[in-house]
Structure 1
Amino acid sequence: MTMPATEHHTLAKHWDIFCTVVDNYGDIGVTWRLAKQLAAEYQITVHLWVDDLHSFSHILPSLDPALRRQSFSGVNIFQWNNPLDIDYIAGQVVIEAFACELPEQVKSVIDKLHKQPQSTVPHWLNLEYLSAEDWVEGCHGLPSTQANGVKKWFYFPGFSDKTGGLICEQQLFVERDNWQANPNNKMALFSQLGLSGIEPDDTVISVFSYETAALNALVKQWQHATQAMHVLIPKGRSLHSLTEFLPCTVSELIPGQQIKLGQLILHILPMTDQTGFDRLLWSCDFNIVRGEDSFLRAQWAAKPFIWHIYPQEDDYHLIKLQAFMRIYCDNLAAQIAATWAEVNLAFNQGDANAVVNHWQQLNSVILPLQQHAINWPNNALNDADLASRLVQFVKNS
């Protein structure tokens, strides 16, 4: 039973983050990283409310989906059932991630607190999806007064200093540079993942995409490479585009399994936690990623990448893609920018012929593209990450 508001004269010190799991790992990936960073770097007690602990456990293998309450990395993880079957005590901040809509019990507590004399209510934030579009700057930080008179603030991550910033742990780039400085690290990781037959100088590509004919076309081309290539791919949506190459159904594949196709070897990856995924991206020569969390981690990996953005009606996702490409390519030479942008666009349009043609052209610009990928993370961060901007935003509002 929810505690009555009269017992909440002062707010508890914790922050609440509510997340509904969408597309298995995207939304929970972002909120889990944010919760861990707030706990580790700002000593904030975070209560992370999640509606699908089973999917969450794929990126946090030690999580028990059967437990209603558990703690990892300094974060308290609660099962979010509807209605809530865990008492809700209001904290200083409540974040509804990606317009997930707070439970009625939580809104009721906020409403009762608001009606008290000398009322104190949580800072109520809606954490929005990351976008590079121009309009984000104008909408970030705007309040929306709810029917009960309480203000809800819209918090937009973004790439400029007028937005909410990008999720990035304080020591991430140092850890990445140390990892990449020693080739033995990636070879040890491949061995740990059960991958064999990869030599230090072989080309290695990671794939975490949605279904697309473009991936099928690239695999057909990669079979005829001039030297050994390895594609590392987990069981899931990407493989549904490659069924013609598989010896069995996708569900029957096992981690560590290899499918040899000419010069190309497909390696089936086990699922990994977020630290392991970062290290995987750091260890590959090129990364194909999807969604929001993986898209950002590919940028922080300082390696060339393709972003497979989530398809939307009327191809609106392509507008989002082009907005990001304009920012990413801003200080790139025209030929390099055009080549990288064209392969990204072709992949997202599922254009098999175009993606193959543009991929072939990548070889001529790969060295400056790699250097740009190394320079980009510091430029994109704009001196402040999302967590630090978020903490300051709460103080200011």
Structure 2
Amino acid sequence: MLDIAEELDRWVGQGRDFAVATVVAVGGSAPRQPGAALAVDSEGTAIGSVSGGCVEGAVYELCRAALADGETVLETFGYSDEDAFATGLTCGGVIDVLVTPIRADTPGAAVFRSVLAAAARGEAAALARLTDGPPELRGRPLLVRPGGAYEGTLGGRPELDRTAAAEARALLDAGRTGTVTIGADGVRCERPLTLVVESIVPAPRMIVFGAVDFASALVGVGSFLGYRVTVCDARPVFATRARFPEADEVVVDWPHRYLASTDTDGRTVLCVLTHDAKFDVPLLELALRLPVAYVGAMGSRRTHLDRQARLRAAGVGERELARLRSPIGLDLGARTPEETALSIAAEIVADRRGGTGAALTGAHTPIHHDGNRATARRIGSVA
């Protein structure tokens, strides 16, 4: 439900009652991953999606029923061989959906409000809920923050809450959404219960080095994908807010010096568009040694070979060089800045999700790859 937290937080501020259907488990070729949500308020207004259209109507009705009776339910939707048009996922997948009413009398309503407010502010937090076990416990919320502090209860059992909070913190630290099995008495896998944990973390960073026309297009695509985008260039005449209005920040500094001083993590992507050796070499010498998600550099194949030689001369090893995506992007035949930005973004997504970059037509590879490869973003964005 955290993928639509900003809108739900507005609904809370307006005093609306609503029900939220959240994907808590998937199997086969399911179009949405755990954490995807659809919400319906008391007036029948709907936001979000759990299936890309396959079962939205049925889930909408479940939300209306939950609002009416105040009951949390877990429903499974799957493909029907007998009737491909029956309620289900005609793509062949299976999804489990947890439907929870959030009203003034909902157990844990204050915790739901807190977690939605935290998510709307972009704070790191995790929402943990039981999807099975005693009906009176199903869907109750536990808000877990970095460091392990938690708010709420899964049913008034301190040992269960402590165990759930520890499991949720582990997923939050990894920036992941998923399910874990815990024991109702606090001992893992004894009397097993299933816990779904939705993590929300600050947006991942995209740092674009080189204030060129290609960078302007890439900034727009990066923002669209949910990245917090920084443009960095040593030339103040080019690195201006007027040239990059969609960037979250524009920095005038030597690229390698800025990279050494700024925060990066395992979700950060670095796009080097300067294709100038005096900028590229010291920057890539550092970038290829950082534990970031992606390092790509623009330039022709001739430029790439020259860049590799310079990096080797600077002491960069073959293992580090193998991390470099250069020439940057997938082969889309791109020519314009916008097309080039799309090819770069496509490579970043394929790298993050484990895709091949090949056409799906005639291929035998999965359409939806294992979501566990991806780190979660502000959920519904950059898992």
Shorter-chain TM-score above 0.5 = no
Pick the structure with more helix per residue: 1
The TM-score normalised by the length of structure 1 is 0.28
Higher relative contact order (CA 8 A, sep 6+): 1
The TM-score normalised by the length of structure 2 is 0.28
